[in-house]
Homo-oligomer: A and B are copies of this chain.
Amino acid sequence: MKPSSIKHAWAGAEKCQHCSIKESVLFADLTQDDFHLLHLPISEIDLKTDSVLYEQTDINNFVYTIRSGCIKLVHHLANGSYRIVGLLRQGDLAGIEALNGSAYLQQAVAMQDTSVCKIPVKNIHQLNHKSSHLCKQLMARWQKGQSQSDIWLTDFTTGNAKQRVAKLLLYLANYESEGFFYLPSRDDIGALLAITTETASRIIAEFRRTEILFNHRYTAKINEVRLKHIIYMIENDPPPSTK
Report which A residues bind B (CB closer than 8 A): 75, 77, 79-81, 83, 85, 96-97, 99-100, 102, 105-106, 128-129, 132, 135-136, 138-140, 142-143, 145-147, 149-150, 152-154, 157-158, 194, 235, 242-243
Contacts and interface: CB of A to CB of B under 8 A. Distances in A.
A153 B194 CA distance: 9
Contact of A143 (B77, B100, B106, B150): B100
A73 to B, nearest CB: 9
B235 A105 contact: no
A171 B158 CA distance: 21
Nearest to A85: B153
Contacts of A75: 150, 153-154
A28 to B, nearest CB: 14
B153 A106 contact: no
A83 B153 CA distance: 8
Given A80-B243, A132-B128, A135-B135, A85 B157 contact: no
A236 to B, nearest CB: 9
A235 B79 contact: yes
B153 A243 contact: no
A162 to B, nearest CB: 16
A243 B76 CA distance: 12
